[in-house]
Amino acid sequence: MQGATSIGSHIPAAVVYPLGRSVLTRRETEVLHLMAEGITTKAIADRLGVTFKTAACHRGRILQKLGVDSTVSAVRWAIRQGIVQP
């Protein structure tokens, strides 16, 4: 499929908290992994085959869901949760 990107098996289907409540979708988790690698929103968009606006929307939703105001804070959260490796 053109524009499709394979999602690695190391990325969970979703980040889930107790009681089965999903915090981040699989795509948001994938974007968070890319953010943790220091990849810009533009490069994330290119890598995922989506528009810049879509990638920025994913990034914004991640920050909102985690209750943080920066990429650094989101990555710190992901490290503490064991979602990404430092």
Q: What is the CATH number of the domain that holds 33?
A: 1.10.10.10
Say if residue 70's pLDDT is above 60.
yes
- Contact (CB, 8 A) for 69 and 51: no
Domain count within the chain? 1
Higher pLDDT among residues 46 and 5, named by residue: 46
Look at residue 13 and tell me if it is in a domain: no
Q: Is residue 45 part of a domain?
A: yes
The answer to whether residue 73 sits within a structural domain is yes
Owning domain of residue 55: 24-80
Residue 27's nearest CA partner among 53, 57, 3 is: 57
Considering only 5-14, 16-25, 39-48, which range has the smallest mean pLDDT? 5-14
- Contact 26/7 with Cβ under 8 angstroms? yes
Question: For position 23, what pLDDT does the model report?
Answer: 86
Which phi-psi region, left, alpha or beta, contains residue 51 (left: φ > 0; alpha: ψ -120 to 50)? beta
